[in-house]
Each structure stands twice: as structure tokens, then as C-alpha cells.
């Protein structure tokens, strides 16, 4: 049996026998080198209560080359692409060591959720949001955990209460924006999706709102 397969089999068995870490692994197809890992969102973070799935590919020269991992579950986090699930983490790149395993790497991803590194972002827009307004960022991350990772419903945000629950409200919350801001520019005659897109790109949140003039937003809206 080849060395890679021998090692992977041992790692899968090790993970199965470990009841404390709550890390799970399963095969995706016939190949033992394409797996799906999963772990619960860490407590005390906006990811708490969510179930996060990760696509894992084991390269030919494993364990001498890093595992290839990306999130299947959508995650709102500075070091994870909100679009593709790609992960920015040193051990998945040049800091890889053959000491690391499927389990310990998934545990590192779990720790990454606890401690974002906004200075080395994978998703620049999310990182800006994180830097500008932590509370707004966390609210959005929690909302994503709720809708994509099966996490608990976010504590009702009072301001959104009187609007009917539906796709419209979702879109604004997913983008991490304030409904009042979106309404304001929508009222000028721009399409809602366009407004959301522009405000998200401009990071129209927290203290930034005062720094970005209405003209600047309109200018961007006209360009888009």
C-alpha cells in the first residue's frame, strides 16, 4: 500500500476514535483522497452554533505537501473568501509541516474562526468591514452562520423588525449594511441590488459613513 494511503487511513481512523474534538471526516466519492471535513463553530464567536463543512483534497505527495482545503459552507470572515470559500492560512501554504494531520489542520481552521487576521486577508472587503466596525461585522458573521451554517437566529435587530421577513431584508443583512442607508439611495431612483453592491464595496459602515459623501456614493452608482 502506498505511503500516502497508509497515512490517510490511519488519520481517518484516529479521527473516528476521537470523540472529544467533534471533528468529522467523510468520503465524498470513491477516492480516499477527497474528503469532507466538518466541525462546530467555536463558542463565544459569531460562528457559535454553526456547522462548518470543508472540502479536503489530499495531494499526491502528501504528507510532504499541504492539504488543499476550502470551506463548502459560506463563512463571513476576513481570511476566508466569502465567494469561493478559499482560505488564507499559513499552514496550508509555506508553513506546512508533515506533522500536521487532517484533524489538526481542521482544528487550526476552527481556531482561525476564533482569531481573524485582518492584516493578511483573503477577502479584502470583509476585512475592511471587520476593521471599520467590529459590532457590525459580528452581526453579519452571525447572520451568515444562521442562514448558511444552520446557526441560531440572530438576536432580533430592532430596526429591521417592522419590515416583512423576506429576501429583501436578507440581502442587506448578508452584505452587512444598514437598511436605512440602502433605502436612502434607493429613494434616489437606483436599483436596490446596485445600491447594496456599491455600499458594500465602499464599506459604508460605522465611522466610514461620515467620511463618504452622498455625492461619492451617487458617482459610484452612476458608474456601476
Partner 1 sequence: MQPTMDRREREGLPQAPRLVSGDLPPEEPIPSYTGPSFVTDDPELSRLTPAELYELNQGMLNDAVPDRPLIDQLKHIAVLRSEYEHGTPAFLQQIDYLRSQGYNGIRRTRGDGDCFYRSLAFAFVERLMNSEEEELEFSVMSAISTLESVLPMLEAAGFQKLVYEDFYETFVSIIKQIVEPDRLDHSNLTPALLLEAFQSPEVSNSVVVFLRLLTSAQIRTDPDSYADFLFNPELGEPMAPREFCESFVEAVGKEADHVQMTALSRALNVNFSVAYLDGRSKDGTVDFVQFDSGNDYGSEPMVLLYRPGHYDILERRSQEPLE
CA-CA-CA-CA torsion sign (94, 112, 169, 153): positive
Question: Is the backbone peptide bond immediately before 63 cis, with ω within 30 degrees of 0?
Answer: yes
- Minimum Å distance from CB 18 to partner 1? 11
99 scored as a contact of partner 1 (CB under 8 A): yes
The residues, ordered by sequence, that sit 6+ positions from 64 with a Cβ below 8 Å of its Cβ are: 98
Burial 42-81 (b: 16+ CB within 10 A, else e): beebbbebbbbbbbbebeeebbeebbebebbbbbbbbbbb
96 scored as a contact of partner 1 (CB under 8 A): yes
**Is residue 15 flagged as an active site residue?**
no
* Catalytic residue (choose from 12, 80, 88, 174): 88
Footprint on residues 29-88 left by partner 1 (CB under 8 A): 61, 63-65
The residues, ordered by sequence, that sit 6+ positions from 68 with a Cβ below 8 Å of its Cβ are: 56, 57, 58, 59, 92
Rounded distance between C-alpha atoms, residue 161 and residue 77, angstroms: 26
According to CB under 8 A, which one of 16, 59, 84, 98 is a site residue for partner 1? 98
- Residue 64 vs 150, nearer CB to partner 1: 64
152 scored as a contact of partner 1 (CB under 8 A): no
According to CB under 8 A, which one of 30, 43, 94, 162 is a site residue for partner 1? 94
Q: Which three cell numbers stand for residue 188?
A: 434616489
Residues in the chain: 224
Q: Which three cell numbers stand for residue 135?
A: 459590532
97 scored as a contact of partner 1 (CB under 8 A): yes
- Residue 9 vs 193, nearer CB to partner 1: 9
- Minimum Å distance from CB 24 to partner 1? 18
Give the SS3 label for residue 76: coil
According to CB under 8 A, which one of 81, 101, 105, 133 is a site residue for partner 1? 101
Q: Which three cell numbers stand for residue 208?
A: 466610514
Q: Which three cell numbers stand for residue 147?
A: 442562514
95 scored as a contact of partner 1 (CB under 8 A): yes
- Residue 29 vs 94, nearer CB to partner 1: 94
- Residue 18 vs 170, nearer CB to partner 1: 18
10 scored as a contact of partner 1 (CB under 8 A): yes
Cα 9 off chain centre by: 29
Q: Which residues bind partner 1 (CB under 8 A)?
A: 3, 6-7, 10-11, 14, 61, 63-65, 94-99, 101
Catalytic residues: 88
Amino acid at each position: 500500500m502506498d505511503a500516502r494511503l497508509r497515512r490517510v487511513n490511519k488519520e481517518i481512523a484516529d479521527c473516528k476514535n476521537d470523540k472529544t474534538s467533534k471533528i468529522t471526516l467523510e468520503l465524498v466519492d470513491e477516492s480516499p483522497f477527497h474528503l469532507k471535513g466538518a466541525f462546530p463553530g467555536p463558542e463565544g464567536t459569531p460562528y457559535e452554533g454553526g456547522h462548518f463543512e470543508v472540502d479536503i483534497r489530499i495531494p499526491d505527495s502528501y504528507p510532504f505537501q499541504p492539504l488543499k482545503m476550502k470551506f463548502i459552507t459560506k463563512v463571513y470572515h476576513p481570511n476566508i473568501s466569502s465567494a469561493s470559500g478559499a482560505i488564507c492560512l499559513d499552514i496550508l501554504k509555506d508553513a506546512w509541516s508533515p506533522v500536521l494531520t487532517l484533524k489538526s489542520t481542521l482544528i487550526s481552521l476552527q481556531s482561525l474562526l476564533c482569531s481573524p487576521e485582518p492584516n493578511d486577508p483573503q477577502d479584502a472587503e470583509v476585512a475592511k468591514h471587520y476593521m471599520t466596525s467590529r459590532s457590525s461585522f459580528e452581526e453579519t458573521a452571525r447572520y451568515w452562520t444562521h442562514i448558511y451554517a444552520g446557526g441560531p437566529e440572530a438576536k432580533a435587530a430592532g430596526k429591521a423588525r417592522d419590515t416583512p421577513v423576506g429576501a429583501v431584508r436578507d440581502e442587506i443583512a448578508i452584505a452587512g449594511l444598514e437598511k436605512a442607508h440602502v433605502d436612502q439611495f434607493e429613494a434616489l431612483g437606483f436599483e436596490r441590488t446596485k445600491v447594496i453592491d456599491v455600499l458594500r464595496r465602499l464599506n459604508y459602515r460605522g465611522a466610514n459613513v461620515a467620511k463618504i459623501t452622498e455625492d461619492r456614493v451617487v458617482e459610484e452608482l452612476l458608474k456601476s
